[in-house]
Amino acid sequence: MTTLTLVLWVANQGASANADHTFVYLESAGWNPPAPIVLDRDRQTLFGPARACYLAYLDLRKVLARLGNQDARSILSAPMLTACPAPLIERYGDGSAAVALARYLSLECHDWQAYQRQLSWLPGGTLPRAS
């Protein structure tokens, strides 16, 4: 079984995204992944079999979108959960264009195979085959 670690990131229009921001949303969602996926709220990661991990990410993304900002006075848009495979962050660095692209593509790709295909052209972008 091939495993994957996805690093999660929540952003809102008008707010600087950071790890604390993401942690707050993950805590307030009260979401728990299906077995065998593991959510590490402190590290803001999902870990498990590649296909199941990406499906869990898509489910959590929907939960956070429904959750909204929980503050009627907020000028921020709804939270957008993005994900990036940990190996890409390790290779390129967290502020790199490759990581930004991977996070953007996580919003566009609705299954693991599509996401994997989109990232495969990056040098070192080969990701685990779905399991």
> Can you tell me the distance from the alpha carbon of 97 to that of 78, in angstroms, rounded to the nearest whole number?
24
Q: Looking at residues 59-79, what average pLDDT do you find?
A: 73
Exposed / middle / buried, residue 110 (Cβ in 10 Å: 0-12, 13-18, 19+): exposed
Q: Looking at residues 112-117, what average pLDDT do you find?
A: 91
For residue 119, what are the contacts with CB-CB under 8 A and spacing of at least 6?
A: 85, 88, 101, 102, 105, 125, 127
* pLDDT one-digit tens code per residue, 5-43: 999 998 765 555 555 678 888 888 889 999 999 999 889
* DSSP designation for 87: H
Residue 129 has a pLDDT of 53
3-state secondary structure of 108: helix
Single pTM value for the model:
0.85
> Can you tell me the distance from the alpha carbon of 47 to that of 83, in angstroms, rounded to the nearest whole number?
12
